[in-house]
Amino acid sequence: MARELTEKDLAIFKKLAPECDDLTCGGSGHRFHAILPPVSNHFAESAEDFTERISRLSDEELAYITDKILTGEEGLGCVEPEDAEALVKLVHDRISPDMAKKVIAAYESGGECNT
């Protein structure tokens, strides 16, 4: 589900990818419509880098993104598998094991690739 990023989304995006000057995908020329897929695919250089980036999130920010994942507003369809695994571990450790299971289910159900 494509969405317009809110001010809160943009603040989180900038926290995860401070080097991003332009919210336009270089490949498609379209504005980003999600937070995690562009960080995974355009900015993180490795799974370790992605893990370090998402570890910057406060518990409140992580819960916010998790809620967006569960409502389908934050797509995981094109997040790299090892990055999704890192996200699930972080959700498990900092929010709850039950919420981590829901994120796994959202990831496994596929869905569209929102960048």
Sign of CA dihedral 51, 55, 56, 60: positive
Residue 23 covered by a domain:
no
Does any domain span residue 43?
yes
The set of residues, in sequence order, having a beta carbon less than 8 Å from that of 62 and lying 6+ positions away, is 54, 90, 91, 94, 95
Q: How much of the chain, in percent, has pLDDT values that exceed 90?
A: 58
Tens digits of residue pLDDT in 17-27: 888 766 654 45
* Domain span holding position 47: 7-15+30-108
Helix (H, G, I), strand (E, B) or coil at 52: helix
Residue 94 to residue 22: CA distance in whole angstroms: 30
79, amino acid identity: V
In a domain, 57, yes or no: yes
Inside any domain, residue 21 = no
115: closest CA among 50, 7, 25? 25
* Predicted local distance difference test score (pLDDT) of residue 4: 83
Residue 84 lies in a domain: yes
pLDDT the model gives residue 111: 58
Domain membership flag for residue 114: no
Q: Do the domain assignments include residue 25? A: no
From CA 57, how far away is CA 30, in angstroms rounded?
26
Total domains, the chain = 1
pTM of the full structure: 0.85
2 domain-assigned: no
| pLDDT per residue as tens digits for the range 82-109 | 999 999 999 999 999 999 999 999 998 8
Close Cβ partners of 83 (under 8 Å, ≥ 6 residues apart): 36, 40, 44, 47, 50, 51
